[in-house]
Amino acid sequence: MANSNLPRRIIKETQRLLSEPAPGISASPSEDNMRYFNVMILGPTQSPYEGGVFKLELFLPEEYPMAAPKVRFLTKIYHPNIDKLGRICLDILKDKWSPALQIRTVLLSIQALLSAPNPDDPLSDNIAKHWKTNEAEAVETAKEWTRLYASGA
Amino acid sequence: MGNAGSSHAHRRRHAPHGGHPPPPVPHPPQPEMTGNRYVFAAATPYPPPYPNPNPPQYYPYSAYYPAPPVPLPAPFDHHHRGAAVPHMDPSLPHPNWGGPRYPCGPVPPPQTAFVEHQKAVTIRNDVNLKKETLRVEPDEDNPGYYLVAFTFDATVAGCITVIFFAKEGADCNLTSTKEDLGTVTVSFEKGLGQKFRQPAGTGINFSMFEESELLKMGDVGEVYPLAVKAEASSIGDNGSGSEKATQGAGINSQITQAIFEKKDEGEYHVRVVKQILWVNNMRYELQEIYGIGNSVDSDFDGNDPGKECVICLSEPRDTTVLPCRHMCMCSGCAKVLRFQTNRCPICRQPVERLLEIKVNNTGDENGNGNGSSVENES
């Protein structure tokens, strides 16, 4: 299917992701669709997500790299910029995409987003509100969700 | 001596041809491309006046072309680079790579303006002052005086002139605006990596001048506290294009203009502001191209992230985006890109022109290898 005529760029990116993975990040292509990646991101230390293992899916559309990859959290996560469907509010996945970015840089950006939630630009209004009114409590909830849903089991 | 072009031109690129236009990529710079900075003396010949239908509003246009034979007070200076972020959006980028967010709203339609795609013409520079080596050293014989010193490469013999408070006149002639300060001219033989230091007693005593004069950037008046002119006495043994250059003004030269900077210890240091080439009666401004240092090394193996096109990750980079001067793409991907977006992949500034530069690595052993070929303009 989509594997025929896979652009060399995607092949190279895949090889490099497998041979030199970024710390705390793994991404491997699906066997039946080389444009679909199973991703795991470890919760960054000193964040409410520390200790969690977060699964994501990443898909490279036909236009890639002229268009951004599509990325979504599969693991439930309590984060003001991630909604309950796992969609991520991150500029480089939308209007700030550049073809110089890669799968690796996208995943590093998502990892950084976990370290720096931005409730001023929310995707989940409720969570953002929680974050802004009582950050300590919101962080506790995020930790709790990490234990409940992202414990790596 | 057209050399490089043909083999690349026919390769098939793998960049996808998307049926759907992607969202435009707005501006904020990314922390990318920290590779070597490399001064490349290639430039296009002065084009017919203003071929670009959309001259930039935030940059004087002449900066990207060699100025015409009549010297202009070239208004571009490197330090405005960061300020050249497009005018439409004053909200500036987060410096934080992972941090920036977008307001989750509709994405504006893409705009793909006409972008000119040119090939570089390589011009030859017989004498090159290595600008990072330019400095002042105390004159042991004359306490309080400082001497200008630097390292340079010369493929022909010639002479070097040091001028303080130099004003640039017609045909790149430099004159000192201080009558009591003589200019110093020293001749040299050809050779690479030569060390220059002006003769003792001809230096500058900083205490004799107002600090503001020493620190001042050459403005429209174009007086620089320090200028060094390196002239080639002849056009070189192989004499390409020398017939036209019989007049005095035809002597090829390189001018380095600098200001002094006062460091914390109170000592003055030299900072190069601009380098100008005067070749065959044309004035060119030298500008750095970001990323070229990675692409001119030979033995491109197609698998080094520092040398490859950022889009296909396969071909060597040979195309520079103007005006931002990011050399980041192969010509094939550049051609695809310009139908998709008008933003530089590296910094997201609008693309006005694409300049294809083939570096000739097969030059002779005398240090002339940095290109003597001329590509035809497309």
The DSSP H or E segment spanning A28 is strand A25-29
Contact residues, chain B, for A92 at CB < 8 Å: 100
The 10s digit of each residue's pLDDT in A20-47 is: 999 999 999 999 999 999 999 999 999 9
d(Cα B38, Cα B98) in Å, to the nearest integer?
Answer: 29
Tell me the CA distances in angstroms from A143 to A73, B111, B121, one per residue in order. Answer: 17, 43, 60
Out of A92, A100, A108, the one facing B32 most closely (by C-beta) is A100
**Exposed, middle or buried by CB within 10 Å (0-12, 13-18, 19+), for B10?**
exposed
Please give the DSSP secondary-structure letter assigned to residue B131: G
pLDDT of residue B26: 40
The 10s digit of each residue's pLDDT in B183-197 is: 889 999 989 999 999
Nearest residue to B172 via CA among B20, B65, B21, B67: B67
Residue of A nearest to B94 (CA): A91
Q: State the CATH architecture for A2-149.
A: Roll (3.10)
Range A69-103 burial, b when 16+ CB lie within 10 A, else e: bbbbbebebbbbbbbeebbbbbbbbbbbbbbbbbb
The 10s digit of each residue's pLDDT in A62-118 is: 999 999 999 999 999 999 999 999 999 999 999 999 999 999 999 999 999 999 999
pLDDT of residue B222: 72
- Sequence-distant (6+) residues with CB within 8 A of B69 are B171, B281, B282, B283
Please give the DSSP secondary-structure letter assigned to residue A87: B
The pTM score is: 0.63
The 10s digit of each residue's pLDDT in B13-42 is: 333 333 344 444 444 343 333 333 334 444
Residues of chain B with pLDDT under 70: 1-115, 217-221, 234-250, 293-306, 359-378
Dihedral class, residue B227 (left if φ above 0, else alpha if ψ from -120 to 50, else beta): beta
Do residues A106 and A58 lie in contact, with contact meaning Cβ atoms separated by under 8 Å?
yes
Nearest residue to A12 via CA among A139, A74, A146, A102: A102
Contact residues, chain A, for B96 at CB < 8 Å: 112, 116
Do residues B337 and A98 lie in contact, with contact meaning Cβ atoms separated by under 8 Å?
no
Taking the CA of residue A6 and the nearest CA in chain B, the distance in Å comes to 9
Nearest residue to B252 via CA among B264, B265, B240, B268: B240
CB contact under 8 A, A116 and B102: no
Token pair of B149 as six digits:
């010193």
Name the β-bridge partners of B119: B356
Three-state SS at B10: coil
d(Cα B25, Cα B23) in Å, to the nearest integer?
Answer: 6
> Mind spelling out the 3-state secondary structure of B225-285?
EEEEEEEECCCCCCCCCCCCCCCHHHCCEEEEEEEEEECCCCCEEEEEEEEEEEECCEEEE
CB contact under 8 A, A9 and B328: no
State whether the Cα torsion A128-A130-A135-A139 is positive or negative: negative
Find which of B11, B20, B25 to mutate to test the A interface (most A CBs within 10 Å of its CB): B25
pLDDT of residue A62: 94
CB contact under 8 A, A7 and B97: no
d(Cα A12, Cα A61) in Å, to the nearest integer?
Answer: 16
Out of A64, A95, A110, the one facing B107 most closely (by C-beta) is A95
Contact residues, chain B, for A7 at CB < 8 Å: 14-16, 312
Assembly ipTM: 0.84
Tell me the CA distances in angstroms from A32 to A9, A36, A71, one per residue in order. Answer: 18, 9, 18
Strands of B37-39's sheet, edge to edge?
A: B37-39, B288-290, B326-329, B319-322, B353-356, B116-119
CB contact under 8 A, A94 and B102: yes
Could you give the maximum distance between any two Cα atoms of chain A, in Å?
51
Partner B contacted by A8 (CB < 8 A): yes
CB contact under 8 A, A63 and B23: no
Active site residues of A: 89
Do residues B60 and B75 lie in contact, with contact meaning Cβ atoms separated by under 8 Å?
yes
**DSSP-assigned states of every residue in B324-355:** TTEEEE-HHHHHHHHHH-SB-TTT-PBP-EEE
